[in-house]
Chains A and B, each alone.
Chain A
Amino acid sequence: YELTQPPSVSVSPGQTATITCSGDKLEIKYCCWYQQKPGQSPVLVIYEDTTRPSGIPERFSGSNSGNTATLTISGTQAIDEADYYCQAWNSSFYVFGTGTKVTVL
Chain B
Amino acid sequence: EVRLVESGGGLVKPGGSLRLSCAASGFTFGRYTMTWVRQAPGKGLEWVSSISSNSGYIYYADSLKGRVTISRDNAKKSLVLQLNSLRVEDTALYYCARELAGTPGFDYWGQGTLVIVPS
Q: Which 5 A-B pairs have the closest CB atoms?
A: A89-B104, A94-B47, A47-B105, A32-B105, A41-B109
B11 at the A/B interface (Cβ < 8 Å)? no
B14 at the A/B interface (Cβ < 8 Å)? no
Say yes or no: A87 contacts B109, CB within 8 Å. no
Q: Which residues of chain B have C-beta atoms less than 8 A from A88's C-beta?
A: 104
Give 1 or 0 for each of A62-105: 1 = CB within 8 Å of chain B CB: 00000000000000000000010101110011111111000000
**Which positions 24-61 of chain A face chain B at CB distance < 8 Å?**
29-30, 32, 34, 36, 41-44, 47-48, 53
User: Can you name the residue of chain B whose Cβ is closest to the Cβ of A100?
Assistant: B44
Could you tell me how many residues of chain A have their Cβ less than 8 Å away from some Cβ of chain B? 25
A94 in contact with B110 given A47-B105, A87-B105, A99-B45 (CB within 8 Å): no
Could you tell me how many residues of chain B have their Cβ less than 8 Å away from some Cβ of chain A? 22
Q: How far is the CA of A42 from the CA of B105 in the complex (A)?
A: 12
Give 1 or 0 for each of B75-119: 1 = CB within 8 Å of chain A CB: 000000000000000000001000010011111011110000000
Interface residues of A (CB under 8 A from B): 29-30, 32, 34, 36, 41-44, 47-48, 53, 83, 85, 87-89, 92-99
Q: How far is the CA of A98 from the CA of B106 in the complex (A)?
A: 17
Interface residues of B (CB under 8 A from A): 35, 37, 44-47, 50, 59-62, 95, 100, 103-107, 109-112
CB distance from B51 to the nearest CB of A (A): 13
